[in-house]
Structure 1
Amino acid sequence: MDSFRFIVERGPQDLILAGEEALLESVSNGAPPILRFVIFDPTAVLIGYHQAVEQEVNVDEVKKRGWDIGRRPTGGGAIIMGKDQLGWEIYADGSLLGGSPENAIKKGAEGVIKTLQKLGIDANFRPKNDVEVKGKKISGIGAFSIGKYIAVTGTILLDFDAEALVSTLRLTSEKLKDKLAKDFKERLTWVSKELGRSIEMSELISIAKDSFSEALGVKLMEGQYTEEEKKLISQLRLKYSSPDWIYNLRKPLSGDVKFIERKFPGGLVRLQVKLAGESIIESVLLTGDFFVEPRRAIYDLESRLKWSRVDELEENIREWYKGIKIIGISENDLISLFNEVLKK
């Protein structure tokens, strides 16, 4: 039976997110695989890799609450993580996780489902990347990779403040389907709500540790970071605390910009296009809560389309799709979205 190191980390968002990048790199360089549980302290609003803070977060409200804002190295949507939300992370050779990010997500979901079952809560996997209880989301999951090595990260909501979610995130009419915030709260659930009582985080961690061990089919050994991991985490904290990384990596375009957003099975896509004249694309920005492999591929598409001709759009997108994978968003979906925004 394979062995994984088991680590529990509590700290600010830059420490934890630096660890996400550092641990995958470390494992890809030969370090033993890891299961890590994390608790964000102070509470943080975390946006996905492809999202723009201005589009997703009510920054003034977050600052008023004394919370942090961070950008994850994975795709997906904006979430709130604090002392009542358990983060879990797996770093391993893809062969131990089903061979692909999609299968790795399902493996992680099995750990969540087993945890909830031991608490008497019936849960199921909901494609593309959620665990649900009676149709309500209780865990979101993301994945990213370096070659054959995969990181899977997710959550288990022990308790949750739905009012805080509504007030700190910019919940657009497209994403909410014009429903009121009250209706949005019905889309989520959490452990204490389902049990009708509170449990301690330490109890949840103990149960989840055993459950993930079973789901992964591995033995967990109480572990610690290698010296190289400690060094790399320390270095990467500068990146994950940097305003350039958090706010400017995916900054909305300015000037005369055409804009559209659309919800696909693979996530919400926000598209901005700036034209030079009628036939030349000056610049493009694609943001949203989708997942792309490789995760920097969106930059390649934006670069490919920059200063390209509008009549070359379909050819460029189809060529780009040959080297990437987006879960739940087809090349025809993206081409149609561009055609629609260009008609505005």
Structure 2
Amino acid sequence: MHGEYKIPGGKLVVVDLEVEGGALRDVRVAGDFFLEPDEAILAIDAALEGAPATTDTVALAARIDGALPESTVMLGLTTEGIAVAVRRALAHATEWSDYDWQLVHDVPQSPALHMALDEVITAEVAAGRRPPTLRVWEWDSPAVIIGSFQSLRNEVDAEGVDRHGVTVVRRISGGGAMFAEPSSTITYSLAVPQSLVSGLSFADSYAYLDDWVLEALGDMGIKAWYQPLNDIATEVGKIAGAAQKRVVGPDGGPGAVLHHVTMSYDIDADKMLDVLRIGKEKMSDKGTKSAKKRVDPLRRQTGLPRQAVIERMIESFRNRHGLTRGAVTPEELARAKELVRTKFSNDEWTARVP
């Protein structure tokens, strides 16, 4: 069995192993990390040898911690990362390089249609009818997008959205409310097979699927990091938030994961505060008194036009994982438009949690 795991902000860990009698055998850990002293790699292999194949990530990391020499120094490597690579080997996880990735970057579309396209495209990936897809959104109007389980009245200021002509939609993933305007927001979705995140915890999958965009931002001179559970941050503030939805495949098969991210390019903080109800408790939890200070736009940090930031992100993804231009098929678009009519533009769905 073979497992790989790119530690967010770190290096690649590769594990090869066999399972005999329910235990790990012939374990070999490798990668482009830095490790001292040399014999530490042998201690890692020995610590994993004989471990029950059912051992979870925490317990595997503990075995390694207990076996390492006291003088061990790791750079780009963690014992948790090694354990994750082991679990991915045992789960027969796939890698980014196993797929022919497709890019969908279409004309501006309505907020409700974007919600529907996420659902349709992820279902198509789950069914194996579409390759893993990176979809970059373009908005035709401003919107507030609330999480699947959020209260409409608690999150949205009805007078504010009416005053600014903002559309309110509810997405299929959980998480918090987002404010998006066509020229001030960069939004993208990843629809990936479940096997790509096999062996990862729910929280680890966020970091794993965000890692490429952290590297893309780094290429633009921005030092950014994943901030659990679902934020991307820099030293001067948050720049993005992510959300996920797991979709079961046909006949209960493995399915797919929808991972979408909204990034602040040039947010109008005053308008955001006028359309969203951001409670004092949430703000105190973030350790700041002002919502305006929580978000630091990419425009200020990069000095680049919005389209240039998007193009550089796409190019970074292409250089790392390969990416060919694709499109939403007529059948997918027809299904999405039907979902707009029956679900995403209906008060029954939008106000399902009043």
Shared topology, TM-score over 0.5? Answer: yes
How many residue pairs end up in the alignment? 246
Q: Secondary structure at the match of 2:222?
A: coil
Q: Secondary structure at the match of 2:144?
A: strand
Q: Secondary structure at the match of 1:177?
A: helix
Q: Secondary structure at the match of 1:212?
A: helix
- C-alpha change, 1:157 and 1:179, in structure 2 (3 Å) is closer
Match of 1:90 in 2: 190
The yes-or-no answer on 1:80 pairing with 2:179 is yes
Q: Which has the larger radius of gyration?
A: 2
The yes-or-no answer on 1:160 pairing with 2:267 is yes
Q: Could you tell me how far apart the structure 2 residues matched to 1:132 and 1:77 are? A: 16
- C-alpha change, 1:49 and 1:236, in structure 2 (3 Å) is same
Cα pair 2:264 2:295 within 8 Å, conserved = no
Cα pair 2:203 2:228 within 8 Å, conserved = no
Instruction: Give unmatched runs, 5+ long, in structure 1.
Output: 252-344
Cα pair 1:44 1:81 within 8 Å, conserved = yes
Instruction: Give unmatched runs, 5+ long, in structure 2.
Output: 1-96, 249-253
The yes-or-no answer on 1:202 pairing with 2:303 is no
The yes-or-no answer on 1:70 pairing with 2:169 is yes
Aligned equivalent of 2:221, options 120, 126, 136: 120
1:288-335: CA deviation from partner (whole Å, max 9, x where unpaired): xxxxxxxxxxxxxxxxxxxxxxxxxxxxxxxxxxxxxxxxxxxxxxxx
Q: Could you tell me how far apart the structure 2 residues matched to 1:179 and 1:96 are? A: 31
Cα pair 1:136 1:188 within 8 Å, conserved = yes
Cα pair 2:143 2:166 within 8 Å, conserved = yes
Q: Could you tell me how far apart the structure 1 residues matched to 2:288 and 2:166 are? A: 21
Q: Could you tell me how far apart the structure 1 residues matched to 2:171 and 2:199 are? A: 23
Aligned equivalent of 1:211, options 316, 319, 323: 316
Q: Could you tell me how far apart the structure 1 residues matched to 2:155 and 2:239 are? A: 20
The yes-or-no answer on 1:104 pairing with 2:104 is no
- C-alpha change, 1:180 and 1:91, in structure 2 (3 Å) is closer
Shift of 1:23: 0.7
- C-alpha change, 1:228 and 1:63, in structure 2 (3 Å) is same
Letter in 2 for 1:19: L
Q: Secondary structure at the match of 2:294?
A: coil
Letter in 1 for 2:339: L
Q: Could you tell me how far apart the structure 2 residues matched to 1:126 and 1:250 are? A: 28
Q: Could you tell me how far apart the structure 2 residues matched to 1:75 and 1:111 are? A: 22
Q: TM-score, normalised by structure 1?
A: 0.67
1:178-222: CA deviation from partner (whole Å, max 9, x where unpaired): 999972211111111223x3x2222111111122345xx522110
Match of 2:34 in 1: none
Cα pair 1:131 1:140 within 8 Å, conserved = yes
Structure with greater proportional strand content:
1
Q: How does 1:240-259 map to 2 (within 5 A)?
A: 240-247=344-351, 249-251=352-354
Match of 2:100 in 1: 3
Match of 1:185 in 2: 292
Cα pair 2:133 2:192 within 8 Å, conserved = yes
Q: Could you tell me how far apart the structure 2 residues matched to 1:180 and 1:206 are? A: 34
Q: Could you tell me how far apart the structure 2 residues matched to 1:157 and 1:219 are? A: 26
Q: Secondary structure at the match of 1:70?
A: strand
Q: Secondary structure at the match of 1:194?
A: helix
Cα pair 2:104 2:325 within 8 Å, conserved = yes
Q: Could you tell me how far apart the structure 1 residues matched to 2:155 and 2:283 are? A: 13
- C-alpha change, 1:180 and 1:154, in structure 2 (3 Å) is closer
Shift of 1:98: 5.1
Shift of 1:242: 0.7
- C-alpha change, 1:108 and 1:213, in structure 2 (3 Å) is farther
| Identical positions, percent | 26
Letter in 2 for 1:212: F
Q: Secondary structure at the match of 2:145?
A: strand
* Range moving further from structure 2, 217-226 or 97-106: 97-106
Cα pair 1:94 1:104 within 8 Å, conserved = no
